[in-house]
Structure 1
Amino acid sequence: MPSLQVFRRAYMQGYGSDPGPWRYRIFPEHELRAQILKRCTTKISNDGCSLSAFFQPHVGSVNEDRSLILDLSLPNGIWSLTAVFDGHGGHETADYLVAELPSFLIAGLSPTVTNVEGPIYDFDEAMKRDLLEIFPEGIDEIAAMPHAMIKARVNDQCSGGLNHTKALRCMRGSTIILALLDPTKKHLWVLNLGDGVAVLGSRRDASSPWNTSILSDNHNGNNPSEADRIRQQHPDEPECIFDDRVLGNIAVTRAVGDHAFKLPAVYTEKIFLNVEPGFRVPAAIESFIPRNLSPPYVSNLASVRYVNLHVQSSCDYFILMCSDGLVDLYMDDPDRAESLTSLVQRWVEIVGGVVRNDIQEAMLRLLRHALGAEDIDSVSRMLTVEMPVTYMDDTTIVLQVL
């Protein structure tokens, strides 16, 4: 006999302009695990040591996050690559990262590993060159070019759409959290652009407590060091950062793509704004064009952390990487917000006890905690609230046992 469906209504403060009350369904405890899994798209590596999970319960939303779990064949052996790409403005840049970044990494890391951040920089610069090849004219010539001519050149969907695709990749953007593990499993590099999070959990033995190390930097306008960096690079431009956003528009300060913040304003005004369909909110883009005086403002230089696993005393390791959607599930609720340091320590404790034996269960426990932990009402509400707008950021988690 099917269980009785119970519905309630709740106000969703901070999610959209209309807080409700909105209807949601209450699930009994024994159904919650299956309901979380139903809204997840997961992938587990062949060896069972890595897992990626995409989570977006809003039925009308397209998840723009992407991930990679891949082996890279380099001259000195097989490397492990795991990554989270948090697309914004669209999915095109994140899709392109999944398709092409591995080949940039293979080329950039052979024959010896020296400059691990170089391939990401090269990838973004190659995207920019693709756009400039479509418009080889100088800035003055582009500024004088009729809009009809630009539209015809960039909106070539009827003849294959190659120019259109290249333009979209530059217009959209993506953050990156990426981990590289060498064939000996003794050397780990973590690279990041943007506001995703990477955490290393470690312990000496099964009876020891878990230690936590954050291996990523917060490349966001709300990070004072990043905001100061941009202000120092643009000392005579008081609006290069305001409202904790680059040019008052974009939150992340480092990313792949987002070339509206990396190229002179004429490229946005004359090219990007003529792409059809283009930006979701063109008026928001138009508003920052007058502030774009000395680009670039958004950087494509990744932060890099190296960990020598061989010299550590710990014998148990795992890495947890996530898009900022996981953090937002806590920070958007004033009753649950806490420092990132204490939050990731909690994550490591939740995951650490089961990740080696059941990596999917570890992911489910983490998501369950983020959605409301033992509060059945809160978890049910976040899974089923019937809001017409997206009420939760795309959330992607990658777990890897090292």
Structure 2
Amino acid sequence: MVYNMVNLQAATSTENLRALEEVKDFYTTDLGRGGKERWTYHMLPEAALDVELHRMSNATSSTSVDSVTFQPCAAYAELNQDRYSIEEWELPGGVWQFTAIYDGHCGHDTVNYVHKRLPSMVRTSLQALLQSAPTTSPKPELVSEVLRNAVRRLDQSIRSDLLNFLPHDHLTKMSDVQLNRHVSLHDSEWNTISARCTQGSTVLLALSDPLKKNVWILNLGDSIAVLGSRPLSGQWSATIINSIHNCSNPSESMRIQQEHPSEQACVCDNRVLGYLAPTRALGDTWLKVPSVYTRRAFAPHLQDWLPSRQVAQYASRILTPPYISNLPEVYHHSLDVPQRELFLILSSDGLQDLYDNHDTQLSDQEMADHWVGLVGRYMHSTTDIGSMKSNLALRLLRDAVGGDDIELVSRNLTLEMEDKWMDDITILVQRFQ
């Protein structure tokens, strides 16, 4: 037998020292999970933390809105599924401000569709309302209806595309051969439709009028809006604007159970049908239509992230759809800008999740008080330097990923792990001036 020999020179002492220098700031963690598995992270100096956080969160600031969107896991399958909008619309009566967060789940197709379509749908409907109204200050309930209808129409368009492509009565009569032929003949169209129907997105948006006398908040899902307010001489107070649409909210869980009496599996494991945490969302059409669509049409697409056994299990629980609601809640607030300082925090649920993982558990109100206190403290700061200067959303994100704990912030920024260990986080802070 012949062996190939490779001769390697021993590393020099200089090379050894260089190698040690390169790894001296690397540490490992088990993420509190126990067991033998460890993941590596890089301890960054304080001077580099804010710069890196600014870069990774795509932090931006406009005249009145600061934004960040953050997901440290860089694996393609785990890329950030949050999207957001910051728009100003020149309409009759002046400039309206539109801001929104869309928190996608199970893929990027539906959230991209919502991000692209919803702002223009709201703007078109609002413009029509303003042009038809006798004044440029329409009744608040009419604006609320514009927002509510736009969201529902967008969700119905996803469902209509499905039903036009594959009507229910046709599907029930088709053989497997006929169904496969129909899908293969229109492969591209079906891939688009099925992706939007098996993925979903929540929506949290704010709309304010030109004089900043009114703000409307629409919520469909489990993101959160918090209004910070204080008199010109006084303390900051925090008001949670919206209810949270997930199964941890007893009223949402009860609503679903009342809509589906005698179906024990409609809410189980604190999820709708044991599958989805949000109780209201755009898309997720497979949970809004008869189960024959899941069993015969959607199964291959669901199997991208669900084993076939689980797909069959969830399909068997779809008895009286829909289970996920597309009915948003809209809240109107009158603003008294000349007499009060005001700002609005919009965030996807990933921000709340980070605080839930802290050693000290906070109630929703305590969390809101903390956020408003922190943002209020820096609203007029003259000591901010570098990348943190003036971006209030970035300040809030830094606090959430570890604050002054350099080791925790470093770990959250640099952990080398293929799987997503942190939910997507998007924060918008809007100042009313």
TM-score (norm 2): 0.84
- Name the residue aligned to 2:109: 92
**Partners of 1:165 and 1:226 in 2: CA distance:** 31
1:289 to partner: Cα distance = 0.8
Q: Using the alignment, how far apart are the partners of 1:308 and 1:286 within structure 2?
A: 49
More deviation, 321-330/348-357: 348-357
Mind listing any 5+ residue stretches in structure 1 that lack a counterpart? none
Q: Which has the larger radius of gyration?
A: 2
Which residue is equivalent to 1:130?
161
2:357 aligns with one of 332, 351, 355:
332
Partners of 1:395 and 1:240 in 2: CA distance? 28
Counterpart position of 1:111: 129
Residues 64 and 189 (structure 1 numbering): CA distance in 2 closer, same or farther, change over 3 Å?
Answer: same
SS at 2:372 equivalent = helix
Q: What residue in structure 1 maps to residue 347 of structure 2?
A: 322
Query: Contact between 1:89 and 1:279, CA under 8 Å: does it hold in 2?
Result: no
| Structure 1 pair 185–151 and aligned structure 2 pair: CA distance change class (3 A) | farther
Q: Deviations over 1:41-69 (max 9, x none)?
A: 23433xx2112211011121311100000
Report the CA distance between 1:21 and its aligned residue: 2.2
Once the 2 structures are TM-superposed, how far is the Cα of residue 337 of structure 1 from its aligned partner?
A: 2.4
Alignment partner of 1:196 is 2:223? yes
Alpha-carbon deviation of 1:150? 3.1
Give 2:28's aligned residue.
9
Alignment partner of 2:378: what SS? coil
Q: Which residue of 2 aligns with 1:215?
A: 241
Offset at residue 385 of structure 1 (A):
1.6
SS at match of 1:219: coil
Q: For 1:337 and 1:382, locate their aligned partners in 2 and report how far apart those are by CA, in whole Å.
A: 19
Give the AA of the match of 2:372: V
Aligned pairs (5 A) from 1:168-187: 168-187=195-214
For the Cα contact (< 8 Å) 1:202–1:314, is it kept in 2? no
Contact preservation (8 Å) 2:67, 2:391 = no
Instruction: Tell me if structure 2 keeps the 8 A contact 1:195–1:324.
Output: yes
Post-superposition Cα deviations, 1:75-99, rounded to whole Å, max 9, x if no partner, equal 4433111000000011111111111
The one-letter code of the counterpart of 2:363 is S
Distance 1:66 1:18, change over 3 A: farther
* Distance in 1 of aligned mates of 2:399 and 2:167: 52
Quote the Cα distance in structure 2 between the aligned partners of 1:314 and 1:226: 36
Residue aligning to 1:55: 70
Quote the Cα distance in structure 2 between the aligned partners of 1:117 and 1:127.
16
**Pair 1:369-2:399 in alignment:** yes
Distance 1:243 1:137 in 2: 30
Distance (whole Å) between structure 2 residues aligned to residue 65 and residue 260 of structure 1 = 21
* Paired AA for residue 98 in structure 1: H
How many residues are matched? 390
Q: What's 1:382 paired with?
A: 412
Q: Residue 117 of structure 1: SS of its match in structure 2?
A: helix
Relative to structure 1, is the Cα distance of residues 235 and 124 closer, same or farther in structure 2, using a 3 angstrom cutoff? Answer: same
1:239 maps to which of 251, 265, 281: 265
Give the aligned residue type for 1:323: S
- Report deviation, 1:10: 1.4
Query: Once the two structures are aligned, what percentage of the paired residues are identical?
Result: 37
What is residue 50 of structure 2 aligned with on the other side?
Answer: 33
Code of the aligned partner of 2:253: A
Query: Structure 1 pair 178/156, CA: closer, same or farther in 2 (3 Å)?
Result: farther
Structure 2 portions without partners, runs of 5+: 1-20, 131-137, 382-387
* 8 Å Cα contact 1:156-1:163 kept in structure 2: no
Structure 1 counterpart of 2:192: 165
Q: Where do 1:235-384 residues align within 5 Å? A: 235-275=261-301, 279-283=304-308, 284-310=310-336, 314-333=339-358, 335-355=359-379, 360-384=390-414
Amino acid in structure 1 at the alignment position of 2:289: L
Alignment partner of 2:129: what SS?
Answer: coil
After superposition, the C-alpha distances for 1:220-257 in whole angstroms (9 at most, x for unaligned) are 01111100010111111111101110011101100000
Instruction: Tell me the distance in 1 between the aligned counterparts of 2:129 and 2:370.
Output: 39
**Greater Cα offset, 168-177 or 80-89:** 168-177
8 Å Cα contact 2:39-2:415 kept in structure 1: yes
* Cα distance in 1 for residues equivalent to 2:389 and 2:177: 54
Segment drifting more, 351-360 vs 212-221? 351-360
The alpha carbon displacement at 1:269 in A equals 1.4
- TM-score under structure 1 normalisation? 0.90
Q: Distance in 2 between matches of 1:18 and 1:167?
A: 40
Matching residue of 1:147: 176
Q: CA RMSD in A?
A: 2.4
Aligned AA (2:112): D
Amino acid at match of 1:126: S
More helix by share: 2
Equivalent position of 1:68 in the other structure: 85
2:181 & 2:89 partners in 1: Cα distance? 40
Deviations 1:279-332 (A, max 9, x none): 42243333211111101111001111110003x784211111111111111113
CA contact (8 A) 2:67 2:394 kept: no
Moved more, 192-201 or 345-354: 345-354
Moved more, 212-221 or 67-76: 67-76
CA contact (8 A) 1:154 1:167 kept: no
